[in-house]
A and B are shown apart, each in its own frame.
Chain A
C-alpha cells in the first residue's frame, strides 16, 4: 500500500502525484521507474520516478491519462491509496561529466527526461533542454526544467507558446551552433524519438532514448517489453529503459504498443464478449 500524499494537475490530462514509498525513495536513481497496480482489478503499469525525497520517504510520479488504468490513477485524490508499488526498476542512467548534454522532452516525456537532466546538471554538465508539446496547455515542468538547465527551448506545434514547430527544429538549431554536443537524450512519443534520432545520426551525435513498451512484471520474467536494438532482442525493463537511439527499431516498438488498442477500447466501454479474434 502506498498513500497518495499530494496531487496536482499539470495540464489537461497530466497529473503529478507524490506517493509514500520510503524504500524506493531511498534507493532510486535517475532513469528508473516503478510498476504500479492501483487495485485488485487493475493492470500493472510502469511509470518513471520523476523525483524523490528520501527524508520524507516520498517519490513523485507524473501520469498522463491515456487509457483505463492511467485515468483511474489520476482520479484518485490525496489521502487515498495505491495497492502495489514495486521498484525501483530498470537500469539507472550512466551519469558522468560529458560536456554539453541536450535533453529533449516531448509531451509527458518531459517528466521522464527531468530527473536525468537534473542529475546531468549536478554532475557538472552544461545542460540544454528542449521541451515540446502540441500547444501551450500541454507544456509541463517548465519551471523545473529552467532551474536545472543552462538554457531551455520551448516549441509548440501550433505556435501558441515558444517557437512554432517541432522539437527537432529546435534541436537542429542547437546543433547548427558551433559547440560540440556530447550526448542527446530524447524521450517522448515514438515518432518524436525516431525523428530526433534521424537528425542526430547525420551529425553522429550519441543519442539515448527511454523506451515505453507494454510491460507486465517489470523484472525480466515475461518478455512483453522486448524491443530490437542493434538487431538483438532486449528486455526494456531490465536492459533499459534507455538505449542507443540509433540502434532501436522504432517501427517495431510502435506496432507492439498497439497490441491491445482494439481491446482496450472495448474494455473501457465494458462490453462483454468483446474480444474474440481481436
Chain B
C-alpha cells in the first residue's frame, strides 16, 4: 500500500514540477502608492485551474495539518480543477467561514503552504491564492448564499467583540440553532479586519459581505455596545443569555515610555490605522477625521502592523517612509509578502536601531527621533537573538510623523469589571485551551484576548473550539 502510494507521488511530482506556481498579477508599485485599492488582482479562472492541477492530491495531506482550522485542502482544490468553483468555496466553508479573508491575510508560508509536499523540492501549491479565488468567485456569482435550515435550540448566547474569533463563534452557534447577539464597542463590526488591516490588503466590502453572511444566519449585531460599560458580563448573564463568549482582541496599544513620546505627530499604530481605515481619513476632508500627511514618516516595529502603517503612510503622500527595527531582517515577524511589497513601494528599512527619545519643536510637534544602534547577542526565549545596545552610538533622524507599532496589550475593560474572571500576569484571560472555558461559569473566551496578538486564522480556530464547547455545555444543561 504504502509503497504504491509513494510511486504515485513520485510520478505526479514530475507533472506538477513542470507547471510553475501561478503568480497573481498586481498593481505596479508606482501606481498603487497613489491609491488605497487592493494590490494583487487575484487569479483568472485559467490560472486557478492551472494552479489547482499542480496539487498531487496527497492521500495523507500534510497541508491540512498545517492549517489551524483543517480546511479540506485537496478536496477543494480538486473541485477547482473540475471548475466547480462554487462547490469548492462551500467545501472550504465547512471549516472556515471567512475564506476570502484568510486567502488574503493568512501567513500561508508558515501554515498550510509551509508543509505542502511540493515545497520539499520546489514551490508549494498556492493554497491561499486558490482559497481567495474561489471565495471571490462565489461572492461575485451568487446573490444570496443559501442559509441552512436549523432547528432552534431556544437558548441564547452573547458574543462580545466582532473580530474573527467572535464572528466564528456567532456563525457556528447560529448554524446549530442558537439565538446569538454580537456586542461590538465600535460602530462597525469586524475587529482588526476593519479598523487595523488596510483596504489595500483587505478590501472592506469583502469584510462586510462576510459579516452580512453571518447576519443572514440570524445573528443579531449590537454596535456601540462597550461591554464593561454599556452592560457588564454579569448583566448579560443575568439577562437573556445562557452563555457569553469574550473575543475582545488585543486592543490596547503599547507605548515605549520614551521622553517626548506625547509630542504632536506621534501615533500608536492603532490610532494611525483606525483613523485611516475605520474613519477613512485618507478621504479627508470628504470624511471628517483628519490624519497627518506628507513629510518624513518613521515607523518602529517589524511586524505586519508596522508594514501596514508604513504602506499607509506612503499612500497618504509621505515624501519618505522609514522602518526602524531593533533586530535584523531575518528576525522580522512580518509576512515575507508584506516586507517585499513595502520594499517595492520605496520604504527604507533601518535594521539594528531603536528609538531612545523624541525632540519636539516649540509648537510641540515632533522634529527628530534620537536612535541608538543595536547588535545581536545570545538567543532569547523567543528563539531569536537578543538585541543589545551599542553604547554611544546615538544618532538623530529628522521626522514629521512617528508611528509606534511594537504590539498591543489586552484591553483590561472586561477583566476589570468581571469579578472572578481569571487573568494571567499580562492581563490575558485564562482558558482551558481545548474548551475555551474561563474561570467563570457560563463564560468562554478565545482569540487574541487569550493568546495575545496572533493571527486571524488562530482566532477563528479558537472560536470554533469555543462554539463546540458552548454547544456541548448548553446541551447538557
Contacts and interface: CB of A to CB of B under 8 A. Distances in A.
A220 interface: yes
A205 interface: no
Interface in A224-252: 224, 226-228, 233, 238, 252
Contacts of B293: 275-278
A36 B264 CA distance: 24
Interface size class, chain B: 35 or more
B264 A255 contact: yes
A68 B231 CA distance: 32
Scoring B224, B287, B365 by chain A CB atoms within 10 A of each residue's CB, the highest score goes to B224
A216 B229 contact: no
A32 to B, nearest CB: 8
Contact of A256 (B252, B275, B364): B364
Q: Which of A37, A256, A271, A275 has the most CB of B within 10 A?
A: A275
A219 B253 contact: no
B233 to A, nearest CB: 14
A231 to B, nearest CB: 11
A233 B255 contact: yes
Interface in B110-136: none
Interface stretch (A53-61, A83-91, A122-130, A152-160): A83-91
B286 A41 contact: yes
Contacts of B290: 260, 263-264, 267, 275
Contacts of A220: 251-252, 411-413
A81 interface: no
A226 B270 contact: no
B65 interface: no
Given A27-B229, A222-B268, A277-B295, A233 B284 contact: no
A223 B271 contact: yes
A222 B270 contact: yes
A33 to B, nearest CB: 11
A259 interface: yes
Contacts of B411: 219-221
Interface residues of A, number: 49
A44 interface: yes
A258 interface: yes
Contact of B413 (A69, A85, A88, A238): A238
B255 A216 contact: no
A244 B226 CA distance: 26
A69 B264 contact: no
The B interface, classified by DSSP as helix, strand, loop or mixed, is loop
Given A27-B230, A86-B185, A277 B413 contact: no
B229 A278 contact: no
Interface string A37-68: 10001111000000000000000000000001
Given A83-B187, A267-B285, A278-B294, A256 B230 contact: no
B288 interface: yes
A252 B251 CA distance: 25
B292 to A, nearest CB: 7
A17 interface: no
Interface in A88-147: 88-89
Contact of A86 (B224, B251, B285): B224
Given A221-B252, A222-B274, A226-B262, A23 B231 contact: yes
Interface in B299-346: 317
A75 B223 CA distance: 25
Interface string B262-287: 11110110110011000100001111
A222 B195 CA distance: 11
B289 interface: yes
A252 B261 CA distance: 11
Residue from B251, B261, B285, B289 with most neighbouring chain A CB atoms (10 Å): B285
A218 B411 CA distance: 12
A259 B271 CA distance: 14
Contacts of B412: 220
Contacts of A86: 185-187, 224-226, 230
Contact of B363 (A27, A41, A43, A258): A258
A223 B294 contact: no
Nearest to B287: A41
A227 B255 CA distance: 13
A24 interface: yes
Interface in A9-44: 23-24, 27, 37, 41-44
Contacts of A223: 253, 255, 267-268, 270-271
A263 B270 CA distance: 21
A247 to B, nearest CB: 15
Contacts of B231: 23, 27
A84 B223 contact: yes
Interface in B379-408: 400
B257 interface: yes
Nearest to B361: A255
Contact of B229 (A89, A226, A260, A264): A89
Contact of A68 (B186, B257, B288, B400): B288
A161 to B, nearest CB: 35
Nearest to B187: A84
B295 A43 contact: no
22 contacts: A41-B288, A43-B279, A43-B288, A43-B289, A83-B187, A86-B226, A88-B229, A220-B412, A220-B413, A221-B251, A221-B253, A222-B274, A223-B270, A223-B271, A226-B262, A227-B262, A233-B261, A255-B263, A263-B284, A267-B288, A274-B285, A275-B293
Interface of A: 23-24, 27, 37, 41-44, 68-69, 83-89, 216-224, 226-228, 233, 238, 252, 255-256, 258-260, 263-264, 266-268, 270-271, 274-278
Given A86-B226, A219-B185, 12 more contacts: A44-B289, A68-B288, A86-B186, A87-B229, A88-B229, A216-B275, A216-B279, A221-B253, A233-B257, A238-B413, A274-B285, A278-B293
A-B CB proximity, top 8 nearest:
A255-B364, A267-B285, A222-B271, A86-B224, A276-B294, A277-B294, A43-B288, A84-B187
